[in-house]
Chains A and B, each alone.
Chain A
Amino acid sequence: MKKLISMIIAILAVVTGLGLWSTHLQKSQGATGDNTLNFANWGDYIDPALIKKFEQQSGYHVNQETFDSNEAMYTKIEQGGTAYDLTVPSEYMVEKMIKSKMLIPLDKSKLTGLNHFGSLYMNRSFDPGNKYSIPYFWGTLGIIYNDEYVKASEIQHWDDLWNPKWRGDIMLIDSARDILGFSLVSMGKSMNTTNPTTLQLAKAKLDQLSPNVKAVVADEIKMYMAEGEAPLAVDWSGEAADMMANNSHLHYVVPSEGSNLWFDNLVIPKTAKHFKAIYVFLNFMNDPKNAAQNAEYVGYSTPNDAALHRLPKAVQNDKQFYPDQSVIEKSEVYEDLAPKIVGMYNDLFLEFKMFRK
C-alpha cells in the first residue's frame, strides 16, 4: 500500500512539473492570448523559418496545430471547442464550408498582394470572386514512375496503367474520388460525375486494374516509392515532389487527357477572433518573397506568379509541377458533391478495394 501511494505521488509530481514547465515555455515564447494567431495547417506545410520571421516582424505569436484530413478539420470546427483563426481546406471543402456558413468573408480592403496571383488560380468555381479564400498551393493528380523499371514512353496516359506488364506494380493513394476520378477520366467522363451508371462502369474498369495494384495506401506511399518498393504510383503532385527529393529515379507525369486540379486555400473559419493578426499574416504570406521561400520549402506549386518568377528557372520551367496551360485547362476541380453521391463514391471504392483478381 505504501509503495502504491508513493508511486501515485511520484506520478502526480512529474505531471505537475511538466505542466509548469510547458506553461513557462509558452510564456517565454510570448504567447499570452491576445497577440496570438491560431493557425490550423496540414503537417509540414509551411516553412518554420517563415513563422519565426513573421513573429519577429509583427510581434504576433503563431500557434500552429496540424490536421491530416479535410474532414477531420471540418468536424473539429463544426463541433466547436477550437479557436482557429486561419485554416487551409482544399477546394471542395471550401465549397462545403461556405455552404454550411462556417467561413467569414475576406475584407478585401485589408488585403494586399492579391494582384500577384495568376488568373488561372483565382475566381474558380468553388469560391467565385474569391470572397472567402486565397489560394495557398495548387497541384494535380498524376503518375509517379521509377525510371529504373519504367520507360517514360510507356506511361503517358491513364490507360497505360492497365498494361498487363505492371502486374502487382502500382501503388494507389487511398482516396475514393481520386482513384475513381482517374478511371472516369480514362473513359472520357467528368471527375464530378454524379450518374450512378457511369460510376458503376468506372468501378468495373478499376476492377480490371486490380491485378496490377500492389497496395492502396496513404502517406506511406512517399516512403515506399522513395525506397523503390514499387515502380509506379498514383498520387498528388505535392507528394510526388517529396518522393522525388529523396529518389532521383522518380518522375511525375500528368496525363495529357486531363487530371484533377486541386487547391489548398487560406480561409477564416467562424471561430476566428484575432482579426488584426489574421490580415497581417495573410499579407505577409502574399508577399512574393515570402511566398517564394515557402514554395521552395514545401515544394508544391505556388499560385503566386510573382513568387514563381523568383524561383530558379529549372523550377519555373518544370512541366511536372507547372504543366502546360492546355493540360491545366483540361483538368477539373472537384465540386462538393451531395453527401449521397460522396457515399456512393466511397462504397464503390470500398468494393474495389475488396475485389480480388
Chain B
Amino acid sequence: MKKNTTNLAFYVPYGLWLGLFVIAPVLLIIYQSFFDIAGHFTLGNYATYFESGTYILMTLNSVVYAFIITALTLLISYPAAYLLHYTKHKQLWLLLIILPTWINLLLKAYAFIGIFSQDGGINSFLGMMGIGPKQFLFTDFSFIFVASYIEIPFMILPIFNAIEELNEGFVNASRDLGAKSWQTFTKVILPLTMSGVKAGVQAVFIPSLSLFMLTRLIGGNRVITLGTAIEEHFLVTMNWGMGSTIGVVLILAMFLIMFLTGERKRKGGRAS
C-alpha cells in the first residue's frame, strides 16, 4: 500500500508538467480559435481558413517546402549516420554534428546571409572562376539549403541511435546466408532502423511546417509558410483567433504525421 502512494508521488511533477505546459496551452489555442477579432464566439475562422484560397495555398506551400526539406535531410543523414557508426572516434564526430545546434538559430541565419549575399563568399568564388555574381539570397534554393542545414542534426541523431542499437549479428547472418550488400541493406538494416528514420522525420517535418524566421531572413518573404501567417496574426493584425486557427491546423497536421509515421504495435515477438 505504502509503495503505491510513493509511486504516485513520482507521477505528480510529470502530471503537472504535462497539464500546465502541454495540455493547457493546446486547449487555450483551441478555445481562442473560436473567437473573432471583436471577441465574439464564431466558427468563422475555420470557414475563412478553408474557403479563402490564400490559406489553402499557403498550407500547400508549407507542406511542399517541409517535404523537400525532410527528404533532403533524410537523404544526407542516413548515409552520414551509417558511416558514423563505422568510424573510429564516433563520439567526437557525433559531437561535431551536434555542435552547431548549440549556436543560436539567428546567428546561423545571419552567417548564411553573409555567405550568400552579392559580395559574399560564394559569389566572390564564382567571380574568381569568371562567372558573374548570381542571386542566391531570397531564392527557394537558399531557403531549402539553410533550413536543411539547420535540421540535419535532428535527423542524424535518431537514425544514428537506431543503427547503434542494431544487432551486428543480423547483418553477419544475412551475409553468411548469401545476401548481397544491397539485399542486406534493404531487407535487414533498413527495416530494423526504420524507427530512427520515423523519429527523425517527425523531428524535422513538423518544425519545418512552421519555420518563420528563415522565411524572412533567408527567403526574403518570397517564401511564405504557415508560420509567417501565425506571426502576422499575433503581432500585426492582433487577430489571435485566426492565428490560433492556423495553430490548430498545424497541431492536427502534427497528429497526422505522428499517426502516419508512428510505431504500430505488431503482434508476434520481435527478436531482441
Contact = CB atoms under 8 A, between A and B. Distances in A.
Contacts of A171: 220
A227 B113 CA distance: 11
B50 to A, nearest CB: 15
A340 B37 contact: yes
B54 interface: yes
B105 interface: no
Contacts of A72: 235
A56 interface: no
B239 interface: yes
A353 to B, nearest CB: 5
A350 B118 contact: no
Interface stretch (B65-73, B90-98, B221-229): B221-229
A214 B220 CA distance: 8
Interface in B210-234: 216-217, 220-222, 224, 228-229, 232-233
Contacts of B119: 227-228
A18 interface: no
B135 A168 contact: yes
A213 B236 CA distance: 22
Q: Is the interface of B mostly helix, strand, loop or mixed?
A: loop
B54 A354 contact: yes
Interface in A309-357: 339-340, 342-343, 346-347, 350-351, 353-354
Nearest to A346: B237
A69 B235 contact: yes
Contacts of B221: 174, 215-217, 353
Nearest to B222: A215
A218 interface: yes
Interface string A276-295: 00000000000000000000
B63 interface: no
Nearest to A351: B54
Interface in A60-79: 69, 71-72, 75
A76 B80 CA distance: 46
A111 to B, nearest CB: 32
A343 B239 contact: yes
Interface residues of B, number: 30
A302 B157 CA distance: 55
A71 B232 CA distance: 11
A339 B239 contact: yes
Interface string B51-83: 010100110010000000000000000000000
B184 interface: no
B138 interface: yes
Nearest to A344: B237
A71 B238 contact: yes
B37 A339 contact: yes
Nearest to A223: B113
B32 interface: no
Given A215-B138, A350-B54, A350-B224, A220 B237 contact: no
B232 A350 contact: yes
B243 to A, nearest CB: 11
A354 B58 contact: yes
A137 B216 CA distance: 28
B85 to A, nearest CB: 27
Contacts of A347: 52, 54
Among B37, B228, B238, max chain A CB count under 10 A is at B238
B37 A343 contact: yes
Interface of B: 37-38, 52, 54, 57-58, 61, 113, 117-119, 135, 137-138, 216-217, 220-222, 224, 228-229, 232-233, 235-239, 242
6 contacts: A174-B216, A215-B137, A215-B222, A220-B216, A227-B118, A339-B239
Interface of A: 69, 71-72, 75, 168, 171, 174, 176, 213-218, 220, 223-224, 227-229, 339-340, 342-343, 346-347, 350-351, 353-354
